Structures are given as C-alpha cells and as structure tokens.
Chain A
Amino acid sequence: MGYHRWDLDNGLNVVAEHHPQMKSVSVGFFVKTGSRDEPPALGGVSHFLEHMLFKGSAALSGEEIDATFDRLGAEYNAFTGSEYTGYYARVLPEHLEALFELLAELMQPALRQQDFEVEKNVILEEIALYEDQPGAVLQRKAIATFYAEHPLGQDILGSTASVRALTPEQMRSYYERRYVPRNLTLAFVGNFDPERVHGLVQRHCGTWRGGQGGRAYPAFTPRENHDRCVRDHLSREHGVVLCPAPAYQSEQREAMDLVVDVLGHPGNSRLHWALVDKGLVDYVAASYHAQDGLGVAGVSYSCDPDVAAAVAQTIQEKIQTLVEKGVIQGELDSARNRVLTALAVEGEQSLRRLFSFAFDFLYDLPYRDLDTILANFQRVSVGAVSDLLETFSFSPQTQVNLVPQRSQPEELS
C-alpha cells in the first residue's frame, strides 16, 4: 500500500492510496461546500447543483454523461451534506482513464435553462419523498432547532419555496465561488498506476482556475430547546435528542464514536437492552456527527405514543448514568471490537475506503492509514472516556418530538 499526495499549481489537492491487491479503483471529487455555505436566500442550491452536474457540460449532454458511466460499468453517485458535496465512481482498473476524463468533464457543468427546469421537478419530488418519512422530517427539524441561527442549521434540501425561486444565474454564481480548485479534494483508492494518475490529473484539471474558496466560521452557543410538533396521519411518536460533541478535527473523536456505540448501538448497547429488548420501542440508536469545528451527538427513536413519556425518561436516565459513571472496560472493548472488524472490511474494498480517506483532507487533517486509525481507537481508555464526558456531558440538549394527533388527550380536556 502506498500513499501519494500532491497539489496542482491551481491549488487542487490530490490524494491517492494505492492497494494493488484490490480488484477495482474508486475516484471521487469532494468539494468543501454544502448547505452551511449557502446564502440563506439560496436554500438548497448545493444539492440542486449536485444534480445539475449530471445534466451535462459545454461538450457533453446529460445523456452522454450517463451513457458513458454505464458503458464503463461504473458504480457511481453523488451526495450533498451540510459541509461537503461528493461525486464518486468505482470501475475496473482498465477503465480508470476514461472514467477520470468523464468525472473531470462532469465538474464543469453547463447549467442549461431547460435542464434546470426539468431537474427542479425532480428536486421537488425528492423533497416530497422525505416529507412522507417522519423520521427524516424530525431529524431535519431537530438539526435546524439545535443550530438555530448558525449556518449548520440550514436545510440540505432547502424548502419547496426556496427551490422554486432558484435561477440558473444564482446557481452559476454559487458554483463559481465554491467549486474552485482550493475547495476541492480529488481522491483515488485502489488498484491503479500512480505514475499515470499524475499525468491524468494534470492533463484534465491543470487548467482549472478559481478563487480562494474557504468558508465562514461564526460562533455557536448551544442552548436548551424543547419542541413538540403535532402531526396528522402519523402512527408512531418519533423523538430526537441532540447535544454538542467533538469536532471532526478533535482528538476525542474516536472516544466519542465509542461512547455513542456503548450508549446506543443497535443490537447491543445500554439503550438496546433498556428499550428494544423490553419491547418498548421499535427503533432506538445513538449517533455522532463530527463536523467542521463543531459536532453533534444524539439519540433518535420511534415508539408507541402511549409509552413515549416512559421511553423519553429512560433515555435521560441512561444518558445521566453514562455522564456520571462513564463506561466499563468490557463495554468499551465490545464497541472497539466492532470497529476493528469494520476497518478490516474497509481495507478490502476501494469504494468503502474512499470516503474516510478523502474526508480527512476536507477537514485539513493529515493522512491516516488504516493502522493509524486502528491505533487511535486502541488508545481510547476508560479514563479518556471520562475526560471526554466532562467536557461533552450530553448537555445542553435539544429535544424535538413528532407526535400523532390522537395522542394529545391532555389538550382536548
């Protein structure tokens, strides 16, 4: 396995991890831009733009782009988050050059008016799709409440109104400001010839130009929030608890990963035994999302409205015990052992490895190979977890619930 990193003159950051035993190669352009980087009036532009990249460049139509990906047998897709947008594909090694030429072309979209109008309908359908998923509705609402005025509270999809109002000119200007080489990480993982990749990148990306990129980092002060939203045509009560957690750049990230696992890993965790095993909820999980300079952890669940109060109380008790007493060695080892197997699997598959490999660079961290990541997890001790929980004590909390109409008897009386 070999690691390579080089910057083009225009500032494009290229990283490559060579695994000659893999049967495929994966490539991704990762842009340091997402909903947090949008002017509030352009809500959803990052995600809409991600769709528009597949609609063609000056030289290629959308149909030609799609057909080329499919001819190469590529597994490909794109995603938009609150602070990054990614375009990736996996192919057999013999198709790498053709694939890369296509991906580089994709990154230079034409943003044609007619394509824009058709794709706007697809985006509105995607918004409608998530409207029918209460868990997703709640998650978005909880994040918006937790981050309040901070740009990390801005919704990734945007609203129906903000998407309807977007114009190709606004999108073009956003693209030109954000998709600059300095905001891009280009990553290769798998079976490829490192020498050829150098030439390939220079040939297709060497002439790209653009400004500074970067992003704003306004201050954020977390607060207590409680919100209950009553909703028609809902069967279960859905709940989310959110609280501050270490940033992506923090050295406590691995400890936090293990803590949320101990608290709420589906299958074996404190919340599993207290709630799922007792037949009280159909779903409960703790999660942790490390972000650029900030982080958020939380618990989400869905249950019968009749037991919702008891479920919410149990979750608070489990959090309280965790914060006061920390974790025990056996639990920590269990959580860690799950990670060890997951890392072994990650090292076998180019597409799995691509994301964790590339993300470190989006967050300006140095390269870490799988052994280093493993060692970081090995280092987490019971004491280190207690230290973490002193700083990040699962408070202040944002609690948001989505409640079926019929379970509101106290308001009827």
Chain B
Amino acid sequence: MRAPVTQFERPLDNGLVVLAEHHPQAHSTAFALYLPLGAQHDPTTRFGLSCVTQELLFKGAGDWDARALATQIDHIGFQEGHNCERELLTFSGTVLPQHLPQALRILRTALGQPHLPSAGLEEVRQLALHRLSALEDAPAQKMFYELGQRFFPPPLSNPSEGTPETLQALCLQDVQGCWERYGPRGAVLSVAGAFEPRALVAQVEALFGDWRGPATPSVTLGTQRSGREHLDQETEQTQIGVAYDSVPFAHPDYLKARMGVLALSGGMSSRLFVEVRQKRGLAYSVFATHVTTKRFGGVLGYAGTTTARAPETLEVLLAQLRRVAQGITPEEFDKAKTRLKTDYVVQGESTRARAAAMARERCYTGKLRTLEEAMRRVDALGLDEVNAYLKTAVPEHFTVMTLGRRPPEVP
C-alpha cells in the first residue's frame, strides 16, 4: 500500500506562508522560497540590481565567507538554485531528508546576514557584464532578451540581466537598499518530500519566525510595444520571436489559454511542429509557449531558420497563431487534457518540481491545490467553453523580434 500524500499550510505571524506536502515514499526533500520582488522593482537606471544583489548573498553571510558558504552547501549535498524573475525572486534546494534543517539554516543565514562585500560586488558585476557580452555569441538567447524588453508591459519588461550601462552604475548603497526590501510579507516557503511534519513547522518557526521586512511596494504596469523590429547580426539562421497577450496564471481562463497553446505546440502532432517542420522542413526548432507572471500572461512563438527561408517561416508561424482563434478540434482537446493531467501526475514524482509548483501557485493565486484538485479542474473543462474563450482571444497586436542577416520580407 502506498501511504497517502498529505498537504498543509501554516502562516507564520510575520506573514511568511509555509506550505508542505508530505511524500512518505520520497528519498529526497525539496523546498522553494519565493519572494514577491524580482526585476520589476529595479529602477530604470539600475537594471540588473535585483539579480546582482541576489548573487551577492552567496559572497559571504553570517560566519562564512563565500568559500565557506559554498562548502557548507556542498557538505550536505544541497542542490542549491536561485533565480531573479520578472515578478519573483526565487530560492530553491533539494537535499536528503536528514539535511533539510541545515539547508534551511544556510538559506536563512544568506538571506538575513549577508556581508554584501564591495570586492564581491565588483566580481558579480564583472560576471554579469561577461554574461551580457556572451549573449552576442548566443543568437536565440539574445533575441529573447530583446523580445522580452519590448513585449512585457513595463516594468515587467526590465531585463533582469541588466544592461552594460546600468550594471556599471550599481553601487553598494543600491545593493544594500535592494536587500533591505527582502522580508517575509507575501513570501511563500514550500517543502515537498520526506520530512517529519511536526518537526518541520517547529524548525521553520525557529529559523524564520524573527524575519522582518517591509511590505512590497505596489507597481503599476505600463503599455507594451507591438510591431516588428529587426537586429542585424551575421548568423546562419534568422531567429524569429513572436509574442501576443494572453491571460495570467490566476485568471479563470488560464487553462483554456493553455489548451490553445498545447494545440499549437504540445508534442510532435501539434500544429506548429506539423506545419513548420514536418510538412515544410523549414526549421529544426519551432515552438510556442505560454508565459506568465503574477499579473501578466502572454504567448511566445519561436522558430530558427536559415536566412532565405525566414519570410516563409514567419508567415506560417503567424498564420498558425492566428488560426487558434477559430478553435481546436475534439482530438486536440483530448490530447491537451491528457498532456496536462499526465504532467500533474509526473510532477508528483519530483519533489523539486512539486515544491516549485506549490510555491508558484500560492504566490500567483493566493491558494493552493492538491494534484488531485488540479486534475479535477482539467476534467471539468469542456471543448465548447475552450473554443468560446479562444474566439475572444484573437491575437491582434503581435510583437515580432527577428535577428539575423536581414529582416524577413513582410509576407
């Protein structure tokens, strides 16, 4: 008999929401701490600040310098990850269950007592500048970096990587100010895997109970830029990125929007793969994906193709994105349902995927669902309501970004 998975939620007095899902059969435990910060809070003259500040936490904290901190992390085999997103600042980790308390202690120290050393700032700044320069040798990433700055409404459009000018402008005072915004209000800590539930709550309270911080300032969203732009670069392939508005994760129509995207790009029988790659052999890599922050959702389409074939590829790509508004077929609907439900089941095999999904859902919607509830929501969807939604979600204002030897002729 399999022991059942159980889930619980405990808000701490300081505002930190603790979520846990117990998987008694798991061999590992994963956690995710998501703060409602991210690159959207960077001033326009300081793009990259949130990302640089987050990196600096690991340049020394508490009694540890950078190396001692890394040694602490490796000593318990702590698979550590952190990321600065547009609307979230994320920290995550996977460990053997016996090491969970120590991993949380390390994270708490990095968050609460970072040294933020000036030498460290220079090193992190140099690395960030190198990474920007490396974008020049990575055409697809560069195209997405540029597309994101045009497509997302400001300040969600802020490039978390910064720009050469804004990175050069950063000083320790900026970093200090950015770090002072960290705090438990609106933050979510989720844990999934094998652990002792009662001990976990006590550990988290002991470690995070004294954490304090200001409320996150609210940010108003501005208007995006649509239209076409091209960057000249001597590459074999033209990189084509196309984006249009959709709904965010918390929106009631989110699953319907996802189903439209799954018809476009949910396996090798999906429309983009068939029309661009299988029938015409225009590209090796072609896809569409739904992207979402807390407040904004969109659909990104991508294809990379040699220069001469770029106009036809862009034409086919745009035509397929537009055609979704006419609805999806019963077969596409069934496939999309199966895909979504299978993804949920398989998510239950990965403690890391589960911890991340729980934290994200709680941050975006203020609620938490079990995997079973998530699957029931998918089951409850009908084809007619999906198609009724898609009819209202006609992509009208595309943001198109291309990078290559010449702009694809307007088809």
User: Which residues on the B side are within 8 Å of A104 (C-beta)?
Assistant: none
Instruction: Known A132-B139, A236-B136, A268-B74; judge A63-B351 contact (CB<8 A).
Output: no
A70 touches B339 (CB 8 A): yes
Taking the complex as formed, is B235 at the interface, i.e. its CB lies under 8 A from any CB of chain A? yes
Closest approach, in angstroms, between the C-beta of A55 and any C-beta of chain B?
A: 8
Tell me, in angstroms, the Cα distance from A279 to B126 when the chains sit together. 5
User: Which residues on the A side are within 8 Å of B131 (C-beta)?
Assistant: 282
User: Which residues on the A side are within 8 Å of B234 (C-beta)?
Assistant: 232-233
Q: Interface-forming stretch among B41-49, B274-282, B392-400?
A: B274-282
A72 touches B338 (CB 8 A): yes
Taking the complex as formed, is A67 at the interface, i.e. its CB lies under 8 A from any CB of chain B? yes
User: Which residues on the A side are within 8 Å of B279 (C-beta)?
Assistant: 118
Instruction: Map CB proximity to A onto B69-92 as digits: 1 under 8 Å, 0 otherwise.
Output: 011011111111000000000000
Instruction: Known A70-B266, A278-B123; judge A128-B236 contact (CB<8 A).
Output: yes
User: Which residues on the B side are within 8 Å of A348 (C-beta)?
Assistant: 26-28, 349-351
B349 touches A338 (CB 8 A): no
Question: Closest residue to B341 on the A side, CB-wise?
Answer: A73
Closest approach, in angstroms, between the C-beta of A252 and any C-beta of chain B?
A: 22
Q: Interface-forming stretch among A17-25, A142-150, A386-394?
A: A17-25
B284 touches A24 (CB 8 A): no
A90 touches B96 (CB 8 A): no
Tell me, in angstroms, the Cα distance from A132 to B28 when the chains sit together. 39
A71 touches B130 (CB 8 A): no
Taking the complex as formed, is A75 at the interface, i.e. its CB lies under 8 A from any CB of chain B? yes
Question: Which of B79, B134, B139, B338 contacts A73, CB < 8 Å?
Answer: B338
Tell me, in angstroms, the Cα distance from A301 to B371 when the chains sit together. 42
Taking the complex as formed, is B157 at the interface, i.e. its CB lies under 8 A from any CB of chain A? no
User: Which residues on the A side are within 8 Å of B80 (C-beta)?
Assistant: 267
Question: Which of A125, A279, A340 contacts B123, CB < 8 Å?
Answer: A279
B269 touches A345 (CB 8 A): no
Instruction: Map CB proximity to B onto A334-350 as digits: 1 under 8 Å, 0 otherwise.
Output: 11011111101101111
Instruction: Known A54-B268, A330-B71, A341-B78; judge A24-B345 contact (CB<8 A).
Output: yes
A236 touches B137 (CB 8 A): yes
Instruction: Map CB proximity to B onto A242-257 as digits: 1 under 8 Å, 0 otherwise.
Output: 0000000000000000
A92 touches B345 (CB 8 A): yes
Q: Which chain A residues numbered 107 to 138 have a C-beta less than 8 Å away from chain B?
A: 118-126, 128-129, 131-135
Taking the complex as formed, is B133 at the interface, i.e. its CB lies under 8 A from any CB of chain A? yes
Question: Which of A126, A283, A340, A349 contacts B134, CB < 8 Å?
Answer: A283
Closest approach, in angstroms, between the C-beta of B90 and any C-beta of chain A?
A: 17
Instruction: Known A236-B137, A276-B127, A348-B349; judge A66-B237 contact (CB<8 A).
Output: no
Question: Closest residue to A233 on the B side, CB-wise?
Answer: B234
Closest approach, in angstroms, between the C-beta of B108 and any C-beta of chain A?
A: 20
B133 touches A21 (CB 8 A): no
Q: Which chain A residues numbered 9 to 46 have a C-beta less than 8 Å away from chain B?
A: 21-24
Taking the complex as formed, is B256 at the interface, i.e. its CB lies under 8 A from any CB of chain A? no
* Number of residues from A at the complex interface, CB < 8 A: 72
Tell me, in angstroms, the Cα distance from A349 to B28 when the chains sit together. 11
User: Which residues on the A side are within 8 Å of B27 (C-beta)?
Assistant: 344-345, 347-348
Question: Which of B74, B130, B268 contacts A337, CB < 8 Å?
Answer: B74
User: Which residues on the B side are within 8 Å of A120 (C-beta)?
Assistant: 281
A273 touches B79 (CB 8 A): no
Question: Closest residue to A276 on the B side, CB-wise?
Answer: B127
Q: Which chain A residues numbered 294 to 316 have a C-beta less than 8 Å away from chain B?
A: 302-304
A338 touches B123 (CB 8 A): no
Question: Which of A54, A125, A236, A238 contacts B282, CB < 8 Å?
Answer: A125
Taking the complex as formed, is A69 at the interface, i.e. its CB lies under 8 A from any CB of chain B? yes
User: Which residues on the B side are within 8 Å of A268 (C-beta)?
Assistant: 70-71, 73-74
Taking the complex as formed, is A62 at the interface, i.e. its CB lies under 8 A from any CB of chain B? yes
B66 touches A277 (CB 8 A): yes
Taking the complex as formed, is A235 at the interface, i.e. its CB lies under 8 A from any CB of chain B? yes
Question: Of residues B94, B126, B267, B348, which shows the largest number of chain A Cβ atoms within 10 Å of its Cβ?
Answer: B267
Taking the complex as formed, is B352 at the interface, i.e. its CB lies under 8 A from any CB of chain A? yes
User: Which residues on the A side are within 8 Å of B137 (C-beta)?
Assistant: 133-135, 234-236, 238, 302
User: Which residues on the B side are within 8 Å of A72 (C-beta)?
Assistant: 338
User: Which residues on the B side are within 8 Å of A118 (C-beta)?
Assistant: 278-281
Q: Which chain B residues numbered 279 to 317 have a C-beta less than 8 Å away from chain A?
A: 279-285, 304-306
User: Which residues on the A side are within 8 Å of B284 (C-beta)?
Assistant: 122-123, 125-126, 129
Question: Which of B66, B124, B133, B342 contacts A304, CB < 8 Å?
Answer: B133
Tell me, in angstroms, the Cα distance from A354 to B156 when the chains sit together. 40
Question: Which of B138, B278, B285, B335 contacts A71, CB < 8 Å?
Answer: B335
Q: List 17 A-B contacts (CB under 8 A).
A: A21-B2, A66-B274, A71-B335, A73-B335, A122-B281, A125-B284, A128-B237, A131-B236, A131-B237, A133-B138, A235-B134, A235-B136, A236-B133, A276-B127, A282-B134, A341-B77, A345-B28
Q: Nearest 3 CB-CB pairs, A to B?
A: A279-B126, A121-B281, A337-B77
Extra pairs beyond A24-B345, A122-B277, A234-B137 (16, CB < 8 Å): A21-B2, A24-B349, A66-B274, A67-B269, A69-B267, A118-B279, A121-B282, A132-B140, A132-B236, A232-B234, A280-B126, A282-B130, A282-B131, A337-B75, A344-B28, A349-B350
